[in-house]
Amino acid sequence: MKPDYWERAARELAARDAVMEGLIARFPNIALRGRGDAFATLARSIVGQQISVKAADSVWQRFAATVGTMTPRLVSETPAQQLREAGLSRQKIAYLHDLSQRFVDGTVRVSHWPALDDEALIAELTQVKGIGRWTAEMFLIFHLLRPDVLPVADLGLRKAASLHYNRGRPISLPKLRKLAKAWVPWRSVATWYLWRSLDPLPVEY
């Protein structure tokens, strides 16, 4: 479901930033949609690391078919060889088993996440093997629908910002952060529209 803040965010971004105004006008009928399951969202992010969106979707479908129901316990109990046959690397299998075990034993405490601010939650998530800052930021955007996340390491965001704000030249991280100050408190929304300028089909994690 679309975040309840989306229309307000789009209006405010369009009023402050001419590039945003143009992008929002180009994509009027689509918006960020959240995934409802925390474990599946994190697992999908791990599966998609360092491969194309198309390849990630293919591996995810085979992985899901192998496991059956995507639950932490079933993933933790699925033999590594079966996961290898689904297309997962040994490292990703280790990450997925670590993630699933943390959900099973309660090390990951989903219920208290809403009370944490973005940085505290990123710090907690990155304690899990295979979850770096980028993966944690994708989780905040796509699962928790946090409105003000700026994933500065994301290649799509940097490419789009270069095209729209820097005449196609590579944009430095300090310049990107300075540029994004105008988008606060809606940096997730601005990022989403910049992603759309490169690929009109929304990516989900």
* Residues 60-75 pLDDT 10s: 999 999 999 999 999 9
Domains (ranges, CATH) in the chain? 6-33+149-198 (1.10.1670.40), 38-142 (1.10.340.30)
Give the separation between CA 3 and CA 5, rounded to whole angstroms. 5
Q: What is the pLDDT of residue 85?
A: 95
Instruction: Give percent of the chain above pLDDT 70.
Output: 96
| Count of beta carbons in the 10 Å neighbourhood of residue 170 | 10
Identify the DSSP state of 144. S
| Phi, psi at 157, each rounded to 5° | -60, -45
Query: Which residues have C-beta within 8 Å of that of residue 131, sequence separation ≥ 6?
Result: 42, 45, 46, 95, 99, 125, 139
* Residues 99-110 pLDDT 10s: 999 999 988 888
Identify the DSSP state of 34. -
**What's the pTM value of the predicted model, to 2 decimals?**
0.84
pLDDT of 204 > 70? The answer is no
Element of type H or E holding 161: helix 155-165
The residue ranking higher by pLDDT, 163 or 41, is 163
Q: What is the pLDDT confidence band of residue 202, given thresholds at 50, 70 and 90?
A: low
